[in-house]
A and B are shown apart, each in its own frame.
Chain A
Amino acid sequence: MTGSAERPAGVGRYGRFGGRYVPETLMEALIRLDGAFTRAMEDPAFRQDLTGLLTHYAGRPTPLTFCPNLSKRLALRVYLKREDLLHGGAHKLNNTLGQALLARSMGKGRIIAETGAGQHGVATAIAGARLGLPVEVYMGEVDIRRQALNVSRMELLGARVIPVASGTRTLKDAVNEALRDWVERVEDTFYLLGSIVGPHPYPLMVRTFQSVIGEEARRQILEREGRLPDTILACVGGGSNAIGIFHRFLADDVRLIGVEAGGEGLETGMHGASLCAGSPGVLHGALSYLLQDENGQVSDTHSIAAGLDYPGVGPELAHLRESGRMEAVSVTDRAAREAFSLLARTEGIVPAMESAHAIARLVEMAGELDRESVVVVNLSGRGDKDVEAPVGPV
Chain B
Amino acid sequence: MSRIAAAFREAEGPLFIGYTVAGDPDPGASVRIAASVLDAGADILELGVPFSDPVADGPVIQRAGIRALAAGTTPLGVFRMVREIRDLSEKPIVLLTYYNPVYRRGLARFYGEAAAAGVDGILAVDLPLEEADRARECAREHDLDQILLAAPTTGDARLARIVEAASGFLYLVSRTGVTGTREDLPDDLRGLIGRVKARGSVPVAVGFGISQPAHVRACAAAGADAVIVGSGIVGLVERHLADPPAMQRAIRAYIRRMKGAAGARK
Across the interface, A281 reaches (CB within 8 A) one of B58, B100, B155, namely B100
| A360–B105 alpha-carbon span in the complex (Å) | 37
Q: Tell whether B158 is near chain A: CB-to-CB under 8 Å.
A: yes
Residue B150 lies at the interface, judged by CB distance under 8 Å to chain A = yes
Partner of A296, one of B104, B125, B128: B104
Q: Which of the listed residues B74, B126, B130, B148 has the most CB atoms from chain A within 10 Å of its own CB?
A: B126
Whether the Cβ atoms of A23 and B125 lie closer than 8 Å is yes
Mask: chain A, 278-302; 1 = CB below 8 Å from B; 0 = not: 0111111101001010111110000
Set A24, A25, A281: member contacting B104, Cβ < 8 A: A281
Is A65's beta carbon under 8 Å from chain B?
no
Q: List, in ascending order, chain A residues with CB within 8 A of B53's CB.
A: 167, 172-173, 176, 283-284, 298
User: Any chain B CB within 8 A of the CB of A266?
Assistant: no
Q: Does B206 contact A (CB under 8 A)?
A: no
Nearest-CB residue, chain B, relative to A279? B104
**How near does chain B come to A74, taking the closest CB pair, in angstroms?**
41
Do A24 and B154 have beta carbons less than 8 Å apart? yes
Q: In whole angstroms, how far apart are the Cα atoms of A176 and B75 in the complex? A: 22
Interface residues on A, range: 35 or more
Q: Which single residue of chain A is at the shortest CB-CB distance from B148? A: A24
Determine if B131 and A295 form an interchain contact, defined as CB atoms under 8 angstroms apart.
no
Are B131 and A20 closer than 8 Å at their CB atoms?
yes
Q: Kindly list chain B residues whose C-beta atoms are within 8 Å of the C-beta of A184.
A: 176-178
Contact (Cβ within 8 A) B176 A25: yes
Neighbouring A residues of B148 by C-beta, 8 Å: 24
B190-244 contacts to A (CB < 8 Å): none
Quote the shortest CB–CB distance from A105 to chain B (angstroms).
Answer: 20
Asked if A19 is at the interface (CB within 8 A of a chain B CB), the reply is yes
Q: How many residues of B contact A (CB 8 A)?
A: 39
Contact status of A176 and B153, CB under 8 A, knowing A20-B131, A296-B103: no
Instruction: Summarize A's interface: helix, strand, loop or mixed.
Output: mixed
Instruction: Tell me which residues from 135 to 149 in chain B have a Cβ below 8 Å from any Cβ of chain A.
Output: 148-149
In the assembled complex, A180 has its CB within 8 A of some CB on chain B: yes
Give the distance to chain B from A310, nearest Cβ to Cβ, in Å: 12
> Interface 1/0s, chain B 34-58, versus A by CB < 8 A?
0000000000000000011111101
Contact of B105 among A28, A173, A296, A298 (CB under 8 A): A296
Contact of A24 among B62, B99, B149, B178 (CB under 8 A): B149
Residue from A24, A28, A282, A294 with most neighbouring chain B CB atoms (10 Å): A24
Closest B residue to A178 by beta carbon equals: B55
User: Within A175-213, which residues are at the interface with B (CB < 8 Å)?
Assistant: 176, 179-180, 183-187
Contact A295 to B128, CB < 8 A, known contacts A183-B178, A184-B177 = no
> Are A187 and B153 touching (Cβ within 8 A)?
yes
Determine the distance from Cα of A183 to Cα of B179 in the docked complex, in whole angstroms: 10
User: Is A27 part of the contact surface with B, judged by Cβ < 8 Å?
Assistant: yes
Give the chain A neighbours of B130 by CB distance below 8 A.
11, 20, 27
* Chain A residue nearest to B50 in the complex (CB): A297
List the B side residues contacting A294 at CB < 8 Å: 104
Q: Which of A341-388 contact B (CB under 8 A)?
A: none
- Let me know if A183 and B176 touch, CB within 8 A: yes
Most buried by B among A19, A172, A283, A298: A283
A22 within 8 A of B: yes
Nearest-CB residue, chain B, relative to A21: B126
Q: Is there an interface contact between A25 and B151, defined as CB atoms closer than 8 Å?
A: yes
Q: Which residues of A contact B154 (CB under 8 A)?
A: 24, 27-28
Q: Please tell me if the beta carbons of A185 and B131 are within 8 angstroms of each other in the complex.
A: no
- Provided the pairs A24-B150, A179-B55, A183-B176 are in contact, do residues A297 and B69 lie with their beta carbons within 8 angstroms? yes
Q: Known contacts being A24-B151, A186-B153, is A282 close to B100, with CB within 8 Å? A: yes
Are A27's CB and B104's CB within 8 A?
no
Is A298 a contact of B52 with CB atoms below 8 Å? yes
Q: Which residues of B contact A167 (CB under 8 A)?
A: 52-53
* CB closest residue in chain A, given B77: A295
Query: Please, which residue of chain A has its CB at the minimum distance from the CB of B152?
Result: A25
Say if the beta carbon of A69 comes within 8 Å of chain B.
no
- Select the residue from B100, B125, B130, B154 with max chain A CB neighbours within 10 A: B100
Since A21-B99, A21-B126 are in contact, a sample of 7 more A-B pairs with Cβ atoms closer than 8 Å, ordered by chain A residue number, is A23-B126, A24-B151, A183-B178, A185-B176, A295-B74, A296-B51, A298-B53
Q: Would you mind naming 22 contact pairs between A and B with Cβ atoms under 8 Å apart?
A: A21-B126, A23-B173, A24-B149, A24-B150, A24-B153, A25-B151, A25-B152, A25-B153, A25-B176, A27-B128, A27-B130, A28-B158, A176-B53, A176-B55, A180-B178, A184-B177, A185-B176, A187-B153, A282-B100, A296-B75, A297-B69, A298-B53
- Name the 7 nearest CB pairs between A and B, nearest first: A296-B104, A296-B101, A184-B177, A24-B149, A25-B151, A297-B52, A179-B55
